[in-house]
């Protein structure tokens, strides 16, 4: 098998505003649902917050220089909604936009292509107080916000992503409650999913109206690589159910203009879906230039052996049982299995021929520690990345149109409900001093990016 990536393949790293910026109360930024969630007892490990995070808001310049040293061709970041439109309504904050203008200018000056995500989970708290994603109004507010950012940065950002992983926003935020805003209401979660879909469609439409014709639009999904534990029809049915809730609830309307019939039937005991108005699915199916796939690990399911009540992120599927696949795990306890990435890339190539794909997140957390000399060696991360990039090469060889790969993450950062306990960075961050130390994986990745070739170490 070839070990060489095609010319022009984008090599990048990804981050998200709340996970790295800090400066939570500066320059007019108001609280997001994550600021509130972090202050609610027992929600986030160790009571950690994103107040300071990796202080990227003040270290932007240093961080861009680091990316340039590592030879990155692209940087995927997100804009903090409460920083650029503090109440979630009305005019943009000039100071908020200035930060992103400066960041983008810095990137361009270093020949690094900016890839901008509008929403990576930090809903302005005022919009949650007014109903949050279960309320239709939030989708309309998102379209306004998209237009404001599009007008401000459209002259210098060429690749735009509306939402990051709407599954997490809807189902971890409103069904299992392990993410902000921490609600546990299955019907609210399904409403949220629809309004996120609508936000994507209306946001894409708003961007199209203000961006230059050359700008490219995308969305990023954590499409589930869901497997049945056995080929038993009952287990295959569990797989179908979870695939509908994990993936097709988004790809149905976004890519094909309709919700899947089996999803509507599976969830009929929870909602009538009357919140889907005439014309919504047409609006959601806005033409896209690329689909972003985030992949970490596969999900293995089977039919119930018992019923386990309690909040779960799978409305109407309490009866499905989730299993840990055998084999190696990361510090998140997630299985290391690159075949899931291959499966997703080939699945979407077959499902939507002609739609370019980007791996917008892939990476692993390990318990990295500096050695006596201060160097951070992370051979397990190199092995993880190597195996997953090999899967991308296999998908390319089998006809998948994959245009780029973004390592999660540039820096160790605030890992949501896990606080600072999980390190995903290719650059180690000492949170006491904010010193950045590239791990050995960063040097390895820089070489892969420079040569376009996979080498074992």
Which residues contact ligand FCB (rule: CB under 6 A)?
16, 19, 164-165, 168, 222, 294, 361, 408, 415-416, 424
Burial class of residue 440 (count of CB atoms within 10 Å of its CB; 0-12, 13-18, 19+):
middle
Per the residue annotation, which of 21, 26, 69, 361 is the catalytic one? Answer: 361
Closest to ligand FCB by CB, 97 vs 163, is: 163
Known catalytic residue: 62?
Answer: no
Return d(Cα 344, Cα 263) in angstroms, integer. Answer: 20
- What b/e string do you get for 122-138 counting C-beta neighbours within 10 Å, with b at 16 or more? bbbbbbbeeebbbbbeb
Sequence-ordered strand ranges (E) for 142-215 = 159-164
Known catalytic residue: 165?
Answer: yes
- Check if the beta carbon of residue 104 is closer than 8 Å to that of residue 157: yes
Per the residue annotation, which of 165, 380, 390, 415 is the catalytic one? Answer: 165
For residue 379, count other CB atoms closer than 10 A to its CB: 13
Min dist CB 199 to ligand FCB, Å, is 17
Return d(Cα 153, Cα 69) in angstroms, integer. Answer: 25
> Distance from CA of residue 210 to its chain's centroid?
24
Min dist CB 421 to ligand FCB, Å, is 12
Min dist CB 417 to ligand FCB, Å, is 10
Burial class of residue 261 (count of CB atoms within 10 Å of its CB; 0-12, 13-18, 19+):
exposed
Min dist CB 396 to ligand FCB, Å, is 23
* CA atoms 323, 328, 334, 337: torsion sign: negative
Min dist CB 220 to ligand FCB, Å, is 8
- What b/e string do you get for 58-82 counting C-beta neighbours within 10 Å, with b at 16 or more? ebbeebbebbbebbbbbbbbbbbbb
Question: Which residues form the catalytic set?
Answer: 165, 361
């Amino acid at each position: 098998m070839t070990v060489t990536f095609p010319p022009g393949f984008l090599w990048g790293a990804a981050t998200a505003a709340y996970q790295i910026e800090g400066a939570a109360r500066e320059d007019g930024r108001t609280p997001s649902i994550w600021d509130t969630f972090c202050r609610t007892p027992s929600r986030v490990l160790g009571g950690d917050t994103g107040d300071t995070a990796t202080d990227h808001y003040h270290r932007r310049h240093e961080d861009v220089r680091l990316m340039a040293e590592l030879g990155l061709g692209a940087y995927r970041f997100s804009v903090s909604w409460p920083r650029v439109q503090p109440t979630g309504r009305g005019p943009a904050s000039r100071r908020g936009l200035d930060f992103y203008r400066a960041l983008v200018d810095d990137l361009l000056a270093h020949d690094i292509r900016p890839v901008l995500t509008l929403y990576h989970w930090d809903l302005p708290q005022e919009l949650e107080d007014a109903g949050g994603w279960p309320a239709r109004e939030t989708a309309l507010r998102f379209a306004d916000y998209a237009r404001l950012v599009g007008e401000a940065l459209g002259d210098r950002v060429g690749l735009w992503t509306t939402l990051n992983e709407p599954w997490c926003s809807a189902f971890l935020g409103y069904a299992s409650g392990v993410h902000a805003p921490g609600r546990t209401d299955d019907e609210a979660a399904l409403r949220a999913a629809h309004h996120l879909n609508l936000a994507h469609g209306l946001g894409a439409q708003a961007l199209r109206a203000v961006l230059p014709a050359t700008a490219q639009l995308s969305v990023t999904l954590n499409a589930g690589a869901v497997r049945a534990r056995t080929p038993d029809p009952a287990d295959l049915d569990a797989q179908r159910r979870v695939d509908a809730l994990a993936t097709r609830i988004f790809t149905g309307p976004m890519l094909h203009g309709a919700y899947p019939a089996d999803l509507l039937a599976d969830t009929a005991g929870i909602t009538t879906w009357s919140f889907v108005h005439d014309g919504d699915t047409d609006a959601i199916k806005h033409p896209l230039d690329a689909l972003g796939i985030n992949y970490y690990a596969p999900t293995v399911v089977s039919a119930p052996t018992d019923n386990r009540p309690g909040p779960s992120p799978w409305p109407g599927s309490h009866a499905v049982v989730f299993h840990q696949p055998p084999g190696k795990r990361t510090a998140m306890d997630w299985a290391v299995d690159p075949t899931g990435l291959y499966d997703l890339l080939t699945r979407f190539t077959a499902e939507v021929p002609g739609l370019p794909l980007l791996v917008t997140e892939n990476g692993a957390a390990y318990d990295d520690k500096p050695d006596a000399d201060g160097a951070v060696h992370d051979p397990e991360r190199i092995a993880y990345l190597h195996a997953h990039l090999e899967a991308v090469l296999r998908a390319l060889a089998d006809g998948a149109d994959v245009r780029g790969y973004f390592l999660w993450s540039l820096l160790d950062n605030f890992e949501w409900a896990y606080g600072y306990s999980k390190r995903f960075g290719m650059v180690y961050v000492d949170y006491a001093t904010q010193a950045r130390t590239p791990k050995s994986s960063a040097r390895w990745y820089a070489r892969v990016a420079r040569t376009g070739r996979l080498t074992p170490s």
